[in-house]
């Protein structure tokens, strides 16, 4: 177990170093420049030159990278050149918002897809099964920005039950969380169903039935328990995907989370913010992968065994 955590930790650190180089370099050599934010051609030249000097962008990229690393090591993520807010503060407030949204989406995903997926598997070809497969197909087929527009029209504009955008209480979370979760629900629903179905065809299920275990126990405890590893492993992938989708969903719903801030900072070439947020996102991805591995590790006794032995 310790070895497992340690080896993954080292791997994560390596990924992180590579990512920091990629992010720092990528942002600067990517096509485009500060000039892009100055869309008015009349005042381009001045503004760009001035900004570049102030931000040290006239230095070579290598120098900029080491300045960046030195600052990060010192816990200094810098300051947004647009808002002058410290990047740490942006990460903290945006992070909390994204955590709320992502958490809501994750809860929604599992609370819908797991029970529905199990029911669909347990009653194959029933109305529940067909209904949930329809949900799955729709969830995968409808692009999330389109779903967002549909839901906003229906629930915000027509019915006026929910706000169309912005940040506030639970009400503000519902639509973005649903949109964020839609695809994850769809994928997870299929996954849970397929995984439970696969388990239901296993020999041990017959044994359970042969000893008189109730169908509910067979499906909801045994089949589900064994169907978990792929679901958990996918959970990491899913959280990672959710993280990626926050970029779209937060912008559409004007929800001030990390995704919103990242999109905004990249568009404005707010390097300090963009770099730090990109790293936060990478950290998120690395962390979710690690959690998925760990979950898989703990969910599957055989793997746990091997991990402990070797």
Partner 1 sequence: MTQTEESELRDTIEQYRNARLTRRDFVQRAAVLGISASVAASILAACGGGGGGGGTTTGEEGQPVQGGVLRMGYDRAFQKLDNVVGPWADEPFTAIYEVPIIRDPGGKFVSSVAEAWEFSSDGLTLSMKIREGLKFHSGAPLTAANVAEDFNIFRTTGVTANFWAPVKNVEEGENNSVVLTLSKTNYGLIETISTLFQSIHNEASRKAAGEGWGATTVDATGPFTLKTFKPASEVVVERWPDYPGSGVPFVTNKGPAYLDSIRWVPILEPANRANEIETGSVDIVKSPAAQDISRLQSNDDLVVLELQELSNYFITIDRTRGALGQPGVAQAMSHAIDRQALVDTVFFGHAVPTYGPIFPAYRWYDPGVEAYNEYDPDKARDLLKSAGLSELRFTLLTQNQPIQVQVLEAVGGMLREVGITMEVKAVEDAAFFPDMFAGKPDAFMFKWLWESPTDNMRFFGRVPSWDYNGNPPKSMAGIDAWESAATEEQLEKACRQVQLAWAEELPFIPLVTQSLVWVHHKRVHNFRPTQTSIYPLFNDVWIEA
Partner 2 sequence: MVTPTTGRDLATVGGPGRGPLLEISHLSVRLRMRSGPITVVDDVSLEIGSGEILGLVGESGCGKSMTALAIMRLLPEAAEIAGGSVLLDGEDLVRTKPERMRQIRGAEVAMVFQEPMTSLDPAFTVGHQVVEAVRAHEKVSRAVSLRRAEESFERVGIPKPRERFDAYPHQLSGGLCQRVMLAMALVTSPRLLIADEPTTALDVTIQAQILELIKQLRTELNLSVLWISHDFGVVSEIADRVAVMYAGEIVEIGETSHMLGAPRHRYTRALIDSIPGRGEPRSLLRTIPGQVPDPGARPAGCRFSPRCDAPVSECELIHPELRAERDASSFRCHNPVA
Residues 234 and 225: their CA atoms lie apart, in Å, by: 15
- Give contact residues for partner 2 (rule: CB under 8 A): 202-204, 206-215, 217, 222, 225-226, 301-302, 305
CB of 81 to partner 1, least distance (A): 7
Residue with tokens 């169907």: 227
CB of 241 to partner 2, least distance (A): 27
CA nearest neighbour of 287 among 3, 2, 75, 15: 15
Q: Which is nearer to partner 1, 256 or 307 (CB)?
A: 256
Compute the CA torsion angle 134, 137, 138, 143 (nearest 10 deg). Answer: 170
- In sign, the C-alpha dihedral spanning 93, 95, 98, 103 is negative
Residue 264 interacting entry, from partner 1, partner 2, none, C-beta within 5 to 8 Å by type: partner 1
Residue 210 interacting entry, from partner 1, partner 2, none, C-beta within 5 to 8 Å by type: partner 2
Q: Which is nearer to partner 1, 163 or 236 (CB)?
A: 163
Q: Which is nearer to partner 1, 173 or 232 (CB)?
A: 173
Q: Which is nearer to partner 2, 171 or 202 (CB)?
A: 202
Q: Which is nearer to partner 1, 175 or 228 (CB)?
A: 175
Q: Are 246 and 179 in contact (CB under 8 A)?
A: no
CB of 85 to partner 1, least distance (A): 7
Q: Which is nearer to partner 1, 81 or 290 (CB)?
A: 81
Cβ contacts of residue 2 below 8 Å, gap of 6+? none
CA nearest neighbour of 95 among 273, 274, 277, 289: 277
Q: Which is nearer to partner 1, 13 or 149 (CB)?
A: 149
CB of 295 to partner 2, least distance (A): 14
Residue 251 interacting entry, from partner 2, partner 1, none, C-beta within 5 to 8 Å by type: partner 1
Q: Are 145 and 252 in contact (CB under 8 A)?
A: yes
Residue 225 interacting entry, from partner 2, partner 1, none, C-beta within 5 to 8 Å by type: partner 2
Residue 302 interacting entry, from partner 2, partner 1, none, C-beta within 5 to 8 Å by type: partner 2
Q: Are 240 and 284 in contact (CB under 8 A)?
A: yes
- Give contact residues for partner 1 (rule: CB under 8 A): 30-33, 35-44, 46-47, 50-51, 54, 79-85, 145, 149, 152-153, 156-157, 160, 163-167, 251-252, 254, 256, 260-261, 264-265, 267-268
CB of 124 to partner 2, least distance (A): 8
Residue 26 interacting entry, from partner 1, partner 2, none, C-beta within 5 to 8 Å by type: none
CA nearest neighbour of 66 among 30, 15, 17, 11: 17
Residue 188 interacting entry, from partner 1, partner 2, none, C-beta within 5 to 8 Å by type: none
CB of 215 to partner 2, least distance (A): 8
CB of 110 to partner 2, least distance (A): 19
């Amino acid at each position: 177990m310790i070895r497992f955590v340690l080896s993954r930790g080292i791997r994560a650190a390596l990924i992180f170093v590579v990512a920091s180089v990629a992010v720092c370099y990528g942002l600067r050599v990517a096509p485009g420049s500060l000039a892009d934010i100055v869309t008015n051609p009349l005042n381009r030249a001045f503004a760009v030159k001035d900004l570049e000097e102030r931000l040290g962008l006239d230095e070579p990229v290598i120098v900029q990278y080491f300045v960046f690393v030195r600052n990060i090591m010192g816990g200094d993520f810098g300051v947004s050149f647009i808002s002058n807010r410290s990047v740490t503060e942006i990460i903290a407030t945006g992070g909390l918002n994204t955590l709320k949204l992502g958490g809501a989406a994750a809860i929604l995903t599992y609370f819908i897809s797991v029970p529905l997926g199990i029911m669909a598997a347990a009653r194959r070809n029933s109305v529940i099964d067909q209904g949930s497969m329809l949900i799955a197909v729709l969830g995968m087929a409808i692009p999330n920005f389109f779903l967002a527009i549909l839901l906003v029209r229906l629930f915000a504009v027509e019915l006026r039950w929910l706000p169309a955008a912005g940040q506030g209480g639970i009400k503000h979370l519902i639509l973005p969380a649903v949109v964020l979760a839609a695809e994850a629900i769809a994928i997870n629903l299929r996954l849970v169903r397929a995984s439970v179905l696969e388990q239901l065809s296993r020999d041990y299920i017959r044994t359970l039935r042969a000893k008189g275990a109730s169908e509910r126990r067979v499906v909801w405890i045994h089949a589900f328990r064994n169907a978990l590893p792929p679901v958990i492993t996918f959970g990491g992938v899913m959280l990672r995907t959710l993280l990626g989708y926050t970029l779209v969903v937060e912008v559409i719903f004007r929800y001030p989370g990390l995704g919103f801030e990242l999109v905004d900072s990249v568009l404005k070439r707010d390097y300090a913010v963009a770099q730090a947020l990109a790293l936060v996102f990478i950290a998120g991805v690395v962390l979710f992968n690690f959690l998925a591995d760990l979950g898989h590790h703990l969910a599957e006794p055989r793997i746990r065994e091997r991990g402990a032995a070797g």
